[in-house]
Amino acid sequence: MSEQWLIDTLKSRTGYRDIRYAQDSQVDLLNSHNIDPIILVGHLGIQLQNPEDYIADGFHEIENSEILTTAIQFICRREILSEVRDKVKYGYSNQSPFGNDSNYSSLLFLRAEVVAKTNTKIWWSEVIGLIMPRVS
């Protein structure tokens, strides 16, 4: 899945315009005077669907799908966190980079957490996954 596909999907489904690639150091965004939500998208890595089942055995590995993990971070006023999160979650829920074949694999929620906060703003990180089924 390309990050650009996810950015375009979120733009079309949420109505937010300031959606961009995440960078490693953007702490200054929390202190900006911008009052509109800023949404940042960036891949994190790949993990196994069932890491506890990892066995260095080709037959078991085929049955243990990989999950591409991606962070969708957003910075917004604290009082609209719930609203922004609802729109962002709607933006990626049941979406698939495989066109109309969402039965093959679609985006799913993995976890979320606060990255940072001030008196007026909050920086939220939502981690989503795309299961990449193995073909045997």
Strand partners, 73: 40, 125
Please check the confidence at residue 52 and state whether its pLDDT lies above 60: no
Distance CA 53, CA 66 (A): 12
pLDDT in tens, 69-128: 999 999 999 999 999 999 999 999 989 888 766 567 889 999 999 999 999 999 999 999
CA distance to 61, 62, 79, 108, 111, per residue, from 128 (Å): 22, 22, 23, 5, 7
pTM: 0.81
pLDDT of res. 47: 77
Q: Say how many domains are in the chain.
A: 1
Closest to 30 measured CA to CA, from 73, 72, 71: 73
Q: Give me the CATH number covering residue 34.
A: 3.30.2000.10
Please check the confidence at residue 43 and state whether its pLDDT lies above 90: yes
Strand partners, 76: 122
Distance CA 63, CA 134 (A): 7
Angle between helix 3-14 and 81-92 (nearest 10): 120
Q: Which domain holds residue 16?
A: 3-132
- Which of 6-20, 36-50, 53-67, 88-102 bottoms out in mean pLDDT, i.e. has the lowest? 53-67
pLDDT of res. 77: 94
